[in-house]
Amino acid sequence: MPELYRIRRLQATLAADSGSSGTPSKDGDTVLPSPEASPSELPLSQLSAAAAPAVDSFGRLQRRLLAATLVVTVVVTLISWPLFGASAARSLLLGGCCGLLYVRLLARSVARIGPDSRSVGRFQIVVPALLVVAAARIPALELLPALLGFLLYKPALLLQAVLAP
Amino acid sequence: MSDLTSAASVLAAALAVGLAAIGPGIGQGTAAGKAVEGIARQPEAEGKIRGTLLLSLAFMEALTIYGLVVALVLLFANPFAG
């Protein structure tokens, strides 16, 4: 199955690169035009170069999400510092950093999904758990700002979903 | 904290995590499976499919996180502890 997936992926990328579009079959699958060279005849550099655009758009989205989360976190921290004090701003910043880490780990587990593994990793759940435990145990941190800081990745996601081209 | 409050808090924490994980768990499994099917059907759209999956998984997993936070607050920063 993974071999078939790789061959179909390569064929589709080559077809997309050459500008030819597949014709839909009766079951909704796209019947791809047969390339002149079989995948096994192509050099490895050409294979990776052909498969790059699809993966690259996901990488771009990932980077945009992380950058948007970082910007939102910094802006909210700077606003909350004079309004609610240094302790709340510190907790908010820590929560925002945890949110960044969470998004990064979630993106990594999404990138790992493929024909070999269909399940989403659960490791990223550890991040908010550790944050809440730390905010509850360490007196210098506040629980509510830390939680709100962690959830700052959501406005970034919403912005991304709304403004995505 | 009285014994009754402790017991109720532990039970509530277990219920919060357990119940909050059911729905998103089913949803995430379905979404990931469909995304893999979509990538296998249209490999040229892999980047878009993965991006959409990332956004939807982030929103779904937030529901689990809410339950987790409620449970951890009950366990480590219980407001009913007196």
Q: Give the pLDDT score at A88.
A: 93
Q: Indicate the pTM of the whole model.
A: 0.73
Are the C-beta atoms of residues A134 and A39 closer than 8 Å to each other? no
CB atoms within 10 A of CB A75: 11
C-alpha distance from B69 to closest chain A C-alpha (Å): 7
CB contact under 8 A, B43 and A62: no
Tell me how many residue pairs between chain A and chain B have CB atoms under 8 A apart: 106
Q: Identify all chain A residues contacting B62, using CB atoms and an 8 Å cutoff.
A: 151, 154
Q: Could you tell me how far CA B53 lies from the centroid of its own chain?
A: 15
Distances (CA, A) of A49 to A7, A17, A61, A63: 15, 11, 19, 20
Q: Does B47 touch chain A (CB under 8 A)?
A: yes
What are A55-96's pLDDT values in tens digits? 678 888 889 899 999 999 999 999 999 999 999 999 999 999
Q: Give the pLDDT score at A35.
A: 44
Using only C-alpha atoms, chain A has a radius of gyration, in whole angstroms, of 22
Q: Identify all chain B residues contacting A136, using CB atoms and an 8 Å cutoff.
A: 72-73, 76-77
Exposed/middle/buried for A7, CB within 10 Å: 0-12, 13-18, 19+?
Answer: middle
CB contact under 8 A, B73 and A143: yes
